[in-house]
Structure 1
Amino acid sequence: MQIHKDHLKLHFIVMLNSFLPLILDKIKLEYEIIVFYRMFAAFMILGAYLYIRKEKFIQPTKEVIILLLSGLLVAAYWSFLLLSVKVGNVSVALVGMATTSLWISFIEPAFFNTKTKPFQSLIGINAIIAVYVIFQSDFEYSRGLLFGIIGSFFSALLTIISSQLSKKYKPMVVTFYQMLGGWIGMTVFLLIYANFIHVEKLQMKPSWSDVGLILGLAFVFSIYAYSIFIEIIKTLSAFTVSLVNNLTPVYGIIFALILTEDGKTMTNGFIAGTLMLLFSVFSYPILIYYLNKYQMQKEKNKN
């Protein structure tokens, strides 16, 4: 029964996350400043919440370092997602996000020392061809798609690592340390960026509308949605979570086409490549299901 509840929670979070790129597109600050403020607000709010609830913070230094370092993956994922939105558009970012489960299907065997199934390579090749088709179609936002795909790689790593961390610690505690670690990482990045890379002064002061949107991101996505996500992956596998997450671009692109003018920038090559990419994403679980069913039947016949 709990698994069914977790599935419902996951689908709700997916629906919620499909609006994320649309919201990010409305914030006028640079991507690194948005991530910096978002993570700062999230860990401060969570820290106050955990203190009031008298939750125990993790003491062993080694454990804290692991959690803080995993926060760098959160910062990297959000940064590339924002870059994808800013350089491309909402729909492009969502297509890039759809590749997370494909990344997991190749990364997860390395973590758990399992063999890669032959059809995974075929699906991966199809996905690569799909991306190639998009890039060769004179599509205006190819760089945005590339950033989205890179971001999905960090998302895949984060999903796998968080699935392990969630079995040892409470979701809110994991989220707190990851937000803190990500904020520290972004602070160091901004210091280096401002002093050695970006010659112009960074615009750090947000407008009131930006403040409202960033606080909304911190409450709704960084704390509520992400903590629910950490809780869910205690019972659901990393791949199952990422698979349902693949509905995010489907919902998001529909919302983007309705609420924005993204449809005007889509070439035939982009549409064809996107369909090929989504085929790779959704065909994987079907093949896994029938393969497992076949192996179970084979074992049953032996007995």
Structure 2
Amino acid sequence: MRKAFFQLHGAVLLAGFTGILGRLITLNEGLLVWYRLLITAVTLWVLYFFSKKLQGISFREIVKITGVGAIAALHWVSFYGSIKYANVSVALVCFSAIGFFTAVFEPLITRKKMNWTELLLGLIAIVGISLIFHFDPQYKTGIVVGLISALLGSLFPVFNRQLLQVHTSETVTLYELSGGFLFLSALLPFYLQYFPPDHVLPTVSDLGWLLVLAWLCTVWAFRLSMNALKKISAFTVNLTYNLEPLYGIALAFAVYREDKLLTGSFYGGLLLIVISVLLQTWLFYRAHKKGAVLANT
């Protein structure tokens, strides 16, 4: 059990580290994500082919899964764009708005009743982001792009829950990443025309960090979280992933000393976001504990 917890927190820490890598890699956001998807998709095709974990599915289902992959690709492009236009800390603060957008879109997609508590907690995070937006005008573009990333990021987990009820996680991951790569490959020529990069080919340093991003922060992080799920409940895994933005911001402070570049309004907004995350965690835990008690009666 202890090993599983270490694996889980390792996966979350690696996820938080992606923001640091987004600043280290000098490619623009579109190319960065394209190379990440290329390396990751090729790696997974090789791994799953030899391990025989691929599940045979219909063409219609492939189209569904690859469509979700396209949303994931756009989420990543806008997330790294937020880092390029602002910084790692601001991008991760905006990522916290994913709870608000999930509370809005999940009931619309799944046709379930609106959870007003989740919506209220999400609004607390939005207020925190708006506080930063209002008092730190230098980050406005990065915040807008970051909120677009959070909106997109709230959609594909909702679709994933539906897909995982029918298909294995390996199949969904493989076709999503492959679909995201194909979609971005078609979009990239037009994207680069409007957002011309300084260079198209990665430098030696970029290539090294891209391999870290693809192999460690994507492939290995996924394997760690899947291994942890064998010993730890999905509830605990979801709860722990609430720490991802906080881990990422802490890393940005330690590596880039972004804490020296940020004003008091950022910390005020961050405090509201931390409060919303803690309240969400507490309510999530209470609901889970109540459900466990009812199940045992």
**Equivalent residue number for residue 274 of structure 1:** 270
Identity %: 27
Kindly provide the amino acid, as one letter, of the partner of residue 97 in structure 1.
F
Are the aligned partners of 2:91 and 2:143 in contact in 1 as well (CA < 8 Å)?
Answer: yes
Are the aligned partners of 1:166 and 1:230 in contact in 2 as well (CA < 8 Å)?
Answer: no
Residue 155 of structure 1 and its aligned partner are, at CA, apart by 2.0
User: SS of 2:138's equivalent?
Assistant: coil
Are the aligned partners of 1:23 and 1:213 in contact in 2 as well (CA < 8 Å)?
Answer: yes
Kindly provide the amino acid, as one letter, of the partner of residue 250 in structure 1.
L
List runs of 5+ in structure 2 lacking aligned partners: none
Kindly provide the amino acid, as one letter, of the partner of residue 52 in structure 1.
F
- Which of 189, 194, 209 is matched with 1:191 structurally? 189
Residue 106 of structure 1 and its aligned partner are, at CA, apart by 3.0
Structure 1 residues 177, 95: closer, same or farther in 2, change over 3 A?
A: same
Q: Distance in 2 between matches of 1:295 and 1:40?
A: 42
Q: Deviations over 1:204-253 (max 9, x none)?
A: 2111111111122111122222355567789626xx65542221222222
Q: Are residue 158 (structure 1) and residue 173 (structure 2) matched? A: no
- Report the number of matched residues: 294
User: SS of 1:141's equivalent?
Assistant: helix
Q: Deviations over 1:53-84 (max 9, x none)?
A: 23445341011111111111221121111111
Alignment of structure 1 residues 36-115 onto 2, 5 Å: 36-115=34-113
Residue 22 of structure 1 and its aligned partner are, at CA, apart by 0.8
Kindly provide the amino acid, as one letter, of the partner of residue 30 in structure 2.
E
Q: Distance in 1 between matches of 2:86 and 2:238?
A: 23
Structure 1 residues 127, 225: closer, same or farther in 2, change over 3 A?
A: same
**Equivalent residue number for residue 262 of structure 1:** 258
**Equivalent residue number for residue 211 of structure 1:** 207
Q: Distance in 1 between matches of 2:177 and 2:266?
A: 35
Q: Distance in 1 between matches of 2:258 and 2:51?
A: 44
Are the aligned partners of 1:194 and 1:202 in contact in 2 as well (CA < 8 Å)?
Answer: no
Q: Deviations over 1:251-297 (max 9, x none)?
A: 22222212213112211111111111221222123235556778999
Are the aligned partners of 2:75 and 2:149 in contact in 1 as well (CA < 8 Å)?
Answer: yes
Are the aligned partners of 2:10 and 2:221 in contact in 1 as well (CA < 8 Å)?
Answer: no
TM-score (normalised: structure 1) = 0.84
Alignment of structure 1 residues 130-149 onto 2, 5 Å: 130-149=128-147
**Equivalent residue number for residue 16 of structure 1:** 14
Q: Deviations over 1:24-73 (max 9, x none)?
A: 21111111001111111111111122222234453410111111111112
List runs of 5+ in structure 1 lacking aligned partners: none
**Equivalent residue number for residue 23 of structure 2:** 25
TM-score (normalised: structure 2) = 0.85
Kindly provide the amino acid, as one letter, of the partner of residue 31 in structure 2.
I
Q: Distance in 1 between matches of 2:277 and 2:160?
A: 21
Structure 1 residues 146, 231: closer, same or farther in 2, change over 3 A?
A: farther
Kindly provide the amino acid, as one letter, of the partner of residue 265 in structure 1.
L
**Greater Rg over alpha carbons, structure:** 1
**Equivalent residue number for residue 281 of structure 2:** 285
Structure 1 residues 251, 56: closer, same or farther in 2, change over 3 A?
A: closer
Alignment of structure 1 residues 235-246 onto 2, 5 Å: 236=234, 241-246=237-242
